[in-house]
Amino acid sequence: MADTHIAQVRVSNQTGCKIDAIVVRHRFGDDPEEVLSWGNGVEDGAASEPKAVTYKTGFGAMTSFDWWTVTWIGNDAFCSSSSTWYNCVVDFLSQEATFVASLAGSALGHVLTNDDSAKSKMAQSGTALLVVCMGVVMGSMLGRQSKADYKEFMLKSEDARDGVTITICKDRIEFRANSGSAKASFKAATIPPDVKNEFKERLLA
């Protein structure tokens, strides 16, 4: 029979700038996914408060593994180890740029007003609407994530003692525990500063 353990997870920020929000997703085997979020972010050079994940070892769990994704917003960029999340955001940003430019310069905009500030507000409203739509899309995309989106980092019984540290560096993600370590890559997409808060809300939702 498998033994169940609890490990505390901390995120260390070594990116050179503040991280505004972080979400770590952990899945052991076919168990339900655990979502750890830090909505206040982490200052550069600091570590987050710990949050718990559960996993199993021993007979009955020998063919199951620990899978992880790490996603964050910092320095006006959306970063993720998950290709599904990254591609979703890149597709959204491409559509957002086209839509907002069209809305701001549309014939309707010229008919309604010649005030540039009003047109800017129209564009911002269009962006906000698209961010809400992005939230719906991102929610559906999560259900489509494959194992290829996750980094395998197997926990052992001794890792329950000191937990797991996930270090976000400028060019990689590092996982460390008593039993070993691993590295993962990530991709980053620049996001407009005026909608960063909306992105943060969608990430943490």
DSSP 38-63: ETT-B-TT-BPPPEEEEEEESTT-TT
- pLDDT per residue as tens digits for the range 158-178: 999 999 999 999 999 999 999
> Which residues does 63 contact at the CB level (< 8 Å), separation at least 6?
29
- pLDDT per residue as tens digits for the range 11-70: 999 999 999 999 999 999 989 999 999 999 999 999 999 999 999 999 878 889 999 999
> Quick one: how far is CA 166 from the chain centroid?
13
- pLDDT per residue as tens digits for the range 133-154: 555 555 555 555 677 889 999 9
Q: Is the pTM of this model over 0.85?
A: no
- pLDDT per residue as tens digits for the range 189-199: 998 887 788 88
Is the predicted pLDDT of residue 104 greater than 60, yes or no?
no
Give yes or no for a contact between 195 and 68, defined as CB atoms under 8 angstroms apart.
no
What pLDDT does residue 122 have?
A: 43
Q: Which of 153, 158, 152 is nearest to 57 (CA)?
A: 158
User: Whole-angstrom Cα distance, residue 25 to residue 37?
Assistant: 9
What pLDDT does residue 110 have?
A: 45
Over range 75-96, report the average pLDDT. Answer: 83
Domains of the chain: 3-204 (2.60.40.3820)
Is the predicted pLDDT of residue 109 greater than 70, yes or no?
no
